[in-house]
Amino acid sequence: MALTILILRLAVCILASPVFLLNFLGLWNWICKKWFPYFLRRFTVMYNEQMASKKRELFSNLQEFAGPSGKLSLLEVGCGTGANFKFYPPGCRVTCIDPNPNFEKFLINSVAENRHLQFERFVVAAGENMHQVADGSMDVVVCTLVLCSVKNQEQILQEVCRVLRPGGAFYFMEHVAAEPSTWNSFWQQVLDPVWFLVFDGCNLTRESWKTLERASFSKLKLQHIQAPLSWELVRPHIYGYAVK
């Protein structure tokens, strides 16, 4: 099986050789950062339609973590186009972080469409280093379809714990590796190197639940599901929340 995966990987990489060449020349990263927000805008519309019930379920108790003032301070890491905004409670104070500055214009559109929120600011930074956000300043941190592409999952979760107040919560919804010895797992392994390059560092084979289980949260509520998505490769999902 391993040899078959290796051979098919090689074949796929040969077919995608123009992309690898652009990457070798140092051009692909610039191209990808420019086009990826346009792709994600379309993808998140489809994703929200197919995952709406799960997102409503996930975010249904957000307000329970509001501070003494009753206002919920929320940080979204890897905010993208702001696809989660419509699921947040009225009056929620939202700060967004993303390493790609090209998302800002899409984010502004989402803010305009979601007047029930109080938008604080957009910070261009990686989740592994959120020094612009003060210690213990957030009631909730949200991260959806992000742990698949961060460089260091452990470091980003350390930063999440740092910015959360005691008793605050981290909400997540992520696509993950399929069960071993399934056809989906087979094709995830075959396509992972090209997928990583084409989709801006996204990994198909990450077992993100293991990193969450090792993190220093006092409580973890995590579910594995087969998401009702058109793209079978990203159907394996985890979602839930963890309390600091």
In this prediction, residue 141 carries a pLDDT of 97
pTM for the complete prediction?
0.93
| CA pseudo-torsion sign 76, 82, 83, 89 | positive
All residues at 6 or more sequence positions from 1 whose CB lies less than 8 Å from its CB, including other chains:
186
Sheet of 236-243: strand order equals 118-124, 93-98, 73-77, 138-144, 164-175, 236-243, 219-226
Residue 202, both tokens: 């996204």
Cα 238 to Cα 162: distance, rounded to the nearest angstrom? 23
User: For strand 118-124 and strand 93-98, is the pairing parallel, antiparallel, or unpaired?
Assistant: parallel
**C-alpha distances out from residue 168 to 73, 110, 162, 185, Å:** 10, 25, 11, 35
Cα 189 to Cα 182: distance, rounded to the nearest angstrom? 11
101, 123 contact by CB (below 8 A)? no
In the DSSP assignment, the letter for residue 178 is P
Q: What is the largest CA-CA distance in the chain?
A: 59
The CA-to-CA distance between both ends of the chain, in Å, stands at 41
Q: Which residue bears the tokens 């084979």?
A: 205
In the DSSP assignment, the letter for residue 179 is P
Task: Name the class of domain 1-243.
Answer: alpha beta
Domain spans of the chain, in order of start: 1-243
pLDDT of the chain, 244 residues: tens digit per residue: 788 888 888 888 888 888 888 888 888 888 888 888 888 888 898 999 999 999 999 999 999 999 888 889 999 999 989 999 999 999 999 999 999 999 998 999 999 999 999 999 999 999 899 999 999 999 999 999 999 999 999 999 999 999 999 999 999 999 999 999 899 999 999 999 999 999 988 999 999 999 999 998 999 999 999 999 988 999 999 999 999 9
**C-alpha distances out from residue 184 to 4, 15, 75, Å:** 15, 21, 33
In this prediction, residue 113 carries a pLDDT of 92
Cα 192 to Cα 106: distance, rounded to the nearest angstrom? 28
